[in-house]
Amino acid sequence: MSVLIDHDTRVLVQGITGHQGTVHTKQMQLFGTKVVGGVTPGKSGLTVEGVPVFDSVAEGVARTDANASVIFVPAPFAKDALFEAVDAGIRLTVIVTEHIPFHDMLQMYHYSRLHGARIIGPNCPGIAAPGKAKVGIIPNVVFRPGRVGVISRSGTLTYEIVSGIRDQGLGQSTCIGLGGDPVVGTSFVDALPWFEKDPETDLIVLVGEIGGTAEEDAADHIAHHFTKPVVAYIAGRSAPPGKRMGHAGAIISRGRGTAESKLAALKSAGCEVATFPYEIPELVAKLAAGPARR
């Protein structure tokens, strides 16, 4: 078992004929993912990396039984791409695209929830379950199958931390990159119950950033509902007070969303908190060698 994706995940690539769609279709295939089709309007009949291309998601789902999709289309067209996927019955969509307008994402979020669909992203690296499937752009080489779950708002830090866990001789059950925009389809609080219920996950790494209250919300959930060990890290500790960072979601307002407030909340919830990213794999190894539950 893994979180959200497994050996039975059948992926449709929206925007497969673009450069990023083509490159990452190949990488997902090398990871072991069943990429069953792609979508680019007007390109039906082509193949990309041996994958058939369809004019619409509905056609792709009807021909391939796809049950997940990944969106590589440009930001102005991402909303329509998501609506099309949801209308075709896709219930898991990873949105790699960045710079999606705020109000577009608000509509996308509520439309997907209304129809029982799940978005990972936008502006995210996706989700990976080593040995099973990957939907997105996380580098293949950093992974190793194991029992550590990872939930992260930062793409690049995710790669570094996952690689460090592998170098400790451990591996990952599922890794989810949530994305760094102000509105994302999946939050820490959404994802934590999945890992709590997953019998193949013994502990998790939670990687947050300054800005917003997602990590404080996660800390409250962990304190009251999560029983597995947690290693946490917050990026942006050295940012000057009130500084707006590169990620659209990393905005500090009226003293909330600071690294200090997030770290205090996570420590209070019983998490092991790393000061620097390189400390995370060592903390994970320590917890992995100890009791399985908090």
Please name the helix (run of DSSP H) or strand (run of DSSP E) that holds residue 135, with its range, or none: strand 133-136
Rg value, the chain, Cα = 19
Cα 213 to Cα 232: distance, rounded to the nearest angstrom:
15
* CA 100 to chain CA centroid, nearest Å: 17
Positions marked active-site: 247
Crossing angle of helices 102-114 and 75-87, in 10° steps, is: 10
The phi and psi torsions of 136 (rounded to 5 degrees) equal 140, -150
Residues 6+ apart with CB under 8 A from 89: 61
Pairwise CA distance, residues 142 & 159, whole Å: 7
Q: Which is it for the CA torsion 124, 128, 134, 135, positive or negative?
A: negative
Beta-bridge partner residues of 173: none
Q: Report how far apart the first and last C-alpha atoms of the chain are (Å, whole number).
A: 22
